[in-house]
Amino acid sequence: MSVYHRGSKVVDLWGGHFDVAGTTRYSEDTLQLVFSTTKGITAIAVAMCVERGLLSFSEKVSTYWPEFSAHGKADATVAQLLSHQCGLYTVDGDISLAEALDWGTITSRLADTAPRWPIGAQHGYHALTYGWLAGELVRRVDPQGRSLGAFVRDEIVDRVGAELWIGLPAEHEHRVSPMIGGLNPGGGDGVDPAVKAMLEHFMGPNSPAGQALSLNGAFSVDGAFNRRDVHEAEIPAANAITNARSLARIYAATIGEIDGVRLLDPNTVEVARSTVTPAGEPDACLIMPTTFGMGFMTHGQFTPYSGPGSFGHPGAGGSVAFAQPERELSFAYVMNRMAENLANDRRAQALTDAAAACADAASR
């Protein structure tokens, strides 16, 4: 875990084992895949494009990406896409893992997919597709035509002096600690059959959640996110490989200066962290209410972070990174041993609460 307060790194801790056998210690040099914590980094990239006048949250997606207008999507706005309101949590038809890892194939498939509900009528977690949708917008408007991974490297990571890749170079693969365990939407052994059937209905492979989390089964391959081909691809919703200190540093640079670098203007942050999904509206994929701003998950029941004003993103199994301008606080936690939940991991939340308490004590 790592914490920045008032622009300074005040906590940087690591521990445990690198591998499931426990033969190697987790070290300062270890890198970790962080699943959907990636989405917050992608959201920062999009916000930077907005701040530079390359994108507008209120403009139609099809203005920048004409092919996106297929199947009644012509009037969908960038804001609706970023807040998971476009009903594109998966693609139409079957898709293989190899096809999903090919940028041109997956973005073309998404452009040619019909929304699962009238755009703007509700919201539902675009667990994997969010990254390709947002990333294609960045690629389309970037004057250099860079991929999302290249944009993040050049405009975020290198500028703040961090380590984070969306598309990991082969020379760093040996540093990546494998993910241990996984999500268990079925509830595990010993669960009442009636409860198990209910969970299967809402979270099973044929449910909206199951389709969103696996892209119609493409990512259901055992150990998919420990594979080299998945690590080297660009999946801007789910495959950033980094460490806690880098995530905390990047978020600190969105709300203040870090060694003279600030990534986002305060006005941009204010817009990006404002919740736009209706209060209490159930997530069409995750069932319980979720709260979204411009690509960030905002403070709410599903993502409490350190309280109101916090914005960032959690990742499956426990990772999380966020900032809270009111406390001048940024926080990140990464792990290799997965909890069986998508967000609000108890390990991370206990550390978050401690960090917030320390920040408050330092302000007295």
- CA nearest neighbour of 89 among 53, 133, 54, 56: 133
Which residue shows structure tokens 């691809």?
A: 233
Handedness of CA 123, 105, 217, 45 (dihedral sign): negative
Query: Residue 146 gets which letter from DSSP?
Result: -
* 150 Cβ neighbours under 8 A, 6+ residues apart: none
SS3 track for 96-111 = CHHHHCCHHHHHHHHH
Comparing C-alpha atoms, which of 51, 8, 19, 31 is closest to residue 242? 31
DSSP string, 236-263: TTT--EE-HHHHHHHHHHHHS-BTTB--
Tell me, yes or no, if 214 is annotated catalytic. Answer: no
Amino acid identity of residue 169, one-letter, is P
Q: Which of 2, 36, 147, 214 is catalytic?
A: 36
Q: 151, 45 in Cβ contact below 8 A?
A: yes
Task: Provide the 8-state DSSP code for 57.
Answer: T
Q: Which residue from 349, 355, 352, 348 is spatially nearest to 334, judged by alpha carbons?
A: 348
Report the catalytic residues.
Answer: 36
